[in-house]
Amino acid sequence: MMNNAVEIDGLRVVRGGRTVIPGLSVRVPAGQVVGLLGPSGSGKSTLIRAVVGVQVVAAGSVRVLGEPAGSPTLRHRIGYVTQSPSVYDDLTVRANVRYFASILGAPRTSVDEAIAAVDLGSHADSPVGRLSGGQRSRASLACALVGDPELLVLDEPTVGLDPVLRRDLWDLFGRLAAQGRSLLVSSHVMDEAARCDRLLLLREGEVLADATLPDLLQRTGATDAEGAFLALIDRAEEAAR
């Protein structure tokens, strides 16, 4: 059993001439839900793209499940959900999930299971394009779940969902982690921090904190994740002065 699902050392990413991640080192422990939190533009999506191996990196090493990110052998083992739902709008939910199941070599029975896991059973035969934003992002999630990946990398999976669905999805993430899977979930909604086993606070491409929520609250004296985040920013800016 690996201790870390993801190991990143000295990662530097330049996008469009701008350094998005100047030099980042971090560990994502296996078997946990790790929340990647930070304001928009903080480099969350870039970091996630580096982990799934679709980002050109300028320097540093990214190892995922013991192998270099982007290795062909990892393609069966990682589930990636992009920020905007990447599914086929003109196909039904079931046709989308079935297609990804075929590509990943997953059994047919897993299709309905994945659809049920994201609570889209009643919309399985609707074209994705006719669904609401939240339903579309859940359809996209089902396409990743269907391959039964060891590591799930989810970029803002709960955007636009109502509180009940958000709770249900976080419950699902917790169950997946309890089964031994690793999850890296980004969000800019700070109150979702409470649902994560561990938090990575990102700001301007740098890790501001890498801790559990209780640790973070204790260290900053704040009462919630948002307060802790602001306290850490204030401290960092004071130190810079």
Partner 1 sequence: MNVHRTVVTAARVLAQLRADHRTIALMLVVPCVLIGLLAWIFQDTPVFDALGAPLLGVFPFVVMFIVTSVATLRERTSGTLERLLTTPMGKGDFMLGYALAFGVMAVLQALVATGFAVWVCGLDVAGPVWQLVVVAVLDALLGSALGLLASGFARTEFQAVQFMPAFVLPQFLLCGLLVARDRLPDVLHVVSDVLPLSYAVDAMKVVTTSASPGQDVTADATVIVGWVVASLVLGSLTLRRRTA
Minimum CB distance to partner 1 smaller for 31 or for 53? 53
- Per CB under 8 A, which region of 97-105, 193-201, 204-212, 222-230 contacts partner 1? 97-105
- The Cα–Cα gap between 188 and 192 comes to 8
Given candidates 32, 42, 45, 55, which one binds partner 1 under the rule CB under 8 A?
55
Answer yes or no whether residue 170 interacts with partner 1 by CB under 8 A.
no
Residue from 70, 134, 160, 174 binding partner 1 (CB under 8 A): 70
Work out whether 52 is an interface residue with partner 1 (CB under 8 A): yes
Q: Which residue has the tokens 């999976």?
A: 157
Q: Please calculate the CA angle 55-33-117 and round it to the nearest 5 degrees.
A: 95
DSSP 61-99: EEEETTEETT-GGGGGTEEEE-SS--S-TTSBHHHHHHH
Which are the contacts of 185, defined by CB distance < 8 A and separation ≥ 6?
Answer: 33, 34, 35, 36, 152, 154, 157, 173, 196
Least spacing, CB of residue 95 vs partner 1, in Å: 6
Is residue 99 a contact residue for partner 1 (CB under 8 A)? Answer: yes
Query: What residues between 176 and 195 interact with partner 1 by CB under 8 A?
Result: none
C-beta neighbour count of 180 within 10 angstroms: 10
| Spatial separation of the C-alpha atoms in residues 167 and 67, rounded to whole Å | 33
> Given the complex with partner 1, which of 100 and 229 has the nearer CB atom?
100
Say how many residues touch partner 1, by CB under 8 A.
31
Q: Which of 1, 56, 239, 240 binds partner 1 (CB under 8 A)?
A: 56
Which stretches of the chain bind partner 1, using CB under 8 A?
A: 15-16, 52-56, 70, 72, 75-76, 78, 80, 82, 84, 86-91, 95, 99-100, 102-105, 127, 143, 147
